[in-house]
């Protein structure tokens, strides 16, 4: 089995820096911790919102698979949202994905809009729990910006447990990986438009609940991301880039009309890969597609004739469209956790449904960084959030501070690190020593648990989840599914 040196083996920033700068051209980091802290403490002005964001940390949307079946939050949901406030980060990107309709949920325990009045009530309580956590930590909420991510899971919807989604187009490589997809229906133009209307209603609910902005989710293989990849789809929502961005443009325009004071952002998978599977016995990921000449016709931001090389032409054009629509917040990701997790979520250990990374995860982190650099260079006035940093562990802030200092990113988003160590941003901002036992080591239990019907959380490192009955169940599942080297 192919392995790479664990990040925890590096004993100093200087030692890590040698490997990091050699991993990909142009990568670097800032060694001095006090300098790192000063960089992260610089505020950012959001002109459209008329608000200042107090520091450079953002928290990505992190679903817990722990809402009630009626779409309302549970105690676990409220705990996680309060931790968002305790984190010290000043940009809360979406809290977690809020499905705009019941059949668009990625799992049966996802927040969704079942009833407008009830949704407004519980979303307001969730937003208030963030502010409560911020208040309790002694932080001002005047420079805290909170968004809500709006989603429809498309072909990856599982509203009742098993796969029960709808496709935008027939994708031969995904349908080789997931044969059951061949049986699910392809959405009509009218059905896409109806989903678009539900995005607008969900945005109105978010506005009435007091959120500063909504994120129109266009990433990770979900519905609006798949629409962007619909080169082969006929009709007004497929083929040309003009057609493939039509639904997004209509949603944004209609939200602007319905909610003039609400900010708008977009989380975008700026580049993509073909689906990967694991080699039997070895467990190493390999491209499922042997026809690289046509792979780009089923992806967004993939270079023709390749399996995983980025083509930034259309992503840059998409951001130009978003810019013209007045969007000033763009959160960049790449790929999908369903079919290329090694790229989308660099990790030392794969989730239960994944595979061993075919490349050094440091290289995968560099892919994320290069995607943001490219977009930021093209649109210096737009505020960008970067992703993929959690794999860097105790060196995360050193690498991220370099990117901020060089004006190659505006905010650094964390997701998995937040689950294991919610106060990580706060400790960086205060230049305090890290609590090393809480640093995310990318064990991927936060993914393996929900893949097996359990709530998500950091079972290895968070005492709260470690003490839950699901922790023992997850250990049994991992033991049963462990692959021999």
Q: Provide the residue ranges of all domains of the chain, joining segments of one domain with +.
A: 7-438
Which run of H or of E encompasses 330? Answer: strand 329-333
Across the range 427-455, mean pLDDT stands at: 97
First to last CA, the chain: 5
Joined together, the tokens standing for residue 461 give 């490192």
Count helices and strands (H / E) in the chain.
18, 13
Contact call for residues 196 and 251 (beta carbons, < 8 A): yes
Average pLDDT, the chain: 96
Query: Which of helix, strand or coil describes residue 44?
Result: strand
pLDDT score for 431:
98
335 sits in the region (left: phi over 0; alpha: psi -120 to 50; else beta) called left
pTM of the entire predicted model: 0.97
Q: Where are the alpha helices (DSSP H) in 32-109?
A: 33-40, 75-86
Contact call for residues 333 and 269 (beta carbons, < 8 A): yes
Q: Determine whether domain 7-438 maps to CATH 3.20.20.70.
A: yes
The CA–CA distances, whole Å, from 198 to 56, 110, 214, 230, 367 equal 32, 16, 13, 21, 33
- The Cα 167–Cα 169 span in angstroms is 5
* 99 closest CA partner among 35, 138, 154, 50: 154
Which run of H or of E encompasses 384? Answer: strand 383-386
Confidence band (pLDDT; 50, 70, 90) for 449?
A: very high
Length of the chain: 485
The CA–CA distances, whole Å, from 163 to 69, 71, 160, 226 equal 17, 18, 8, 16
Cα atoms found within 13 Å of the Cα of residue 63, Cβ hemisphere only? 25
Confidence band (pLDDT; 50, 70, 90) for 485?
A: very low
* 100 closest CA partner among 270, 210, 215, 230: 215
Across the range 309-333, mean pLDDT stands at: 99
Q: Where are the alpha helices (DSSP H) in 236-338?
A: 241-244, 246-258, 313-324
Residue 1 pLDDT greater than 70, yes or no: no
Residue 292 pLDDT greater than 60, yes or no: yes
Across the range 157-182, mean pLDDT stands at: 95
Cα atoms found within 13 Å of the Cα of residue 419, Cβ hemisphere only? 28
Contact call for residues 361 and 349 (beta carbons, < 8 A): no
Contact call for residues 333 and 344 (beta carbons, < 8 A): yes
pLDDT score for 159:
97
């Amino acid at each position: 089995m192919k392995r790479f040196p664990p990040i925890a083996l590096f004993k100093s920033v200087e030692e890590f820096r040698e490997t990091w700068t050699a991993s990909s051209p142009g990568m670097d980091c800032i060694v001095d911790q006090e300098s790192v802290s000063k960089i992260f403490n610089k505020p950012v002005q959001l002109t459209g919102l008329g608000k200042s964001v107090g520091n450079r940390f953002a928290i990505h949307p992190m679903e817990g698979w722990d809402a009630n079946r009626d779409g309302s939050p549970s105690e676990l949901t409220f705990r996680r949202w309060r931790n968002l406030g305790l984190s010290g980060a000043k940009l809360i990107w979406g809290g977690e994905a809020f499905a705009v309709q019941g059949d668009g949920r990625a799992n049966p325990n996802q927040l969704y809009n079942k009833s407008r009045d009830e949704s407004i009530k519980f979303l307001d309580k969730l937003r208030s729990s963030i502010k409560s956590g911020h208040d309790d930590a002694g932080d001002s909420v005047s420079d805290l910006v909170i968004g809500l991510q709006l989603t429809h899971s498309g072909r990856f919807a599982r509203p009742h447990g098993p796969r029960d989604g709808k496709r935008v187009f027939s994708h031969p490589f995904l349908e080789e990986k997931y044969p059951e997809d061949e049986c699910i229906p392809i959405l009509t133009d009218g059905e896409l438009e109806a989903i678009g209307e539900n995005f607008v209603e969900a945005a109105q609910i978010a506005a009435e609940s007091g959120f500063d902005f909504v994120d129109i989710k266009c990433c990770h293989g979900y519905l609006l991301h798949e629409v962007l990849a619909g080169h082969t789809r006929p009709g007004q929502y497929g083929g040309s880039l003009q057609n493939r961005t039509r639904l997004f443009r209509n949603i944004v325009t209609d939200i602007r009309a319905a909610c003039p004071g609400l900010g708008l952002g977009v989380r975008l998978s700026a580049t993509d890969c073909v689906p990967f599977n694991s080699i039997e016995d070895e467990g190493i990921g390999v491209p499922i597609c042997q026809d690289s000449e046509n792979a780009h016709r089923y992806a967004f931001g993939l270079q023709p004739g390749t399996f995983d090389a980025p083509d930034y032409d259309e992503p840059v054009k998409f951001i130009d469209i978003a810019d013209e629509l007045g969007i000033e917040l763009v959160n960049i990701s790449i790929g999908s956790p369903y079919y290329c997790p090694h790229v989308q979520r660099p990790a030392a250990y794969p989730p239960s449904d994944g595979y061993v990374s075919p490349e050094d995860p440091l290289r995968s982190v560099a892919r994320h960084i290069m995607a943001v650099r490219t977009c930021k260079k093209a649109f210096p006035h737009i505020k960008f959030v970067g992703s993929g940093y959690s794999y860097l562990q105790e060196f995360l802030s050193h690498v991220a501070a370099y990117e901020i200092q060089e004006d190659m990113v505006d905010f650094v988003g964390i997701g998995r690190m937040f689950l294991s160590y919610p106060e990580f941003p706060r400790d960086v901002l205060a230049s305090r020593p890290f609590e090393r036992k809480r640093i995310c080591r990318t064990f991927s239990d936060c993914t393996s648990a929900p893949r097996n019907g359990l709530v998500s959380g950091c079972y290895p490192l968070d005492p709260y989840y470690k003490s839950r009955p699901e922790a023992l169940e997850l250990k049994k599942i991992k033991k049963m599914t462990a692959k021999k080297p």
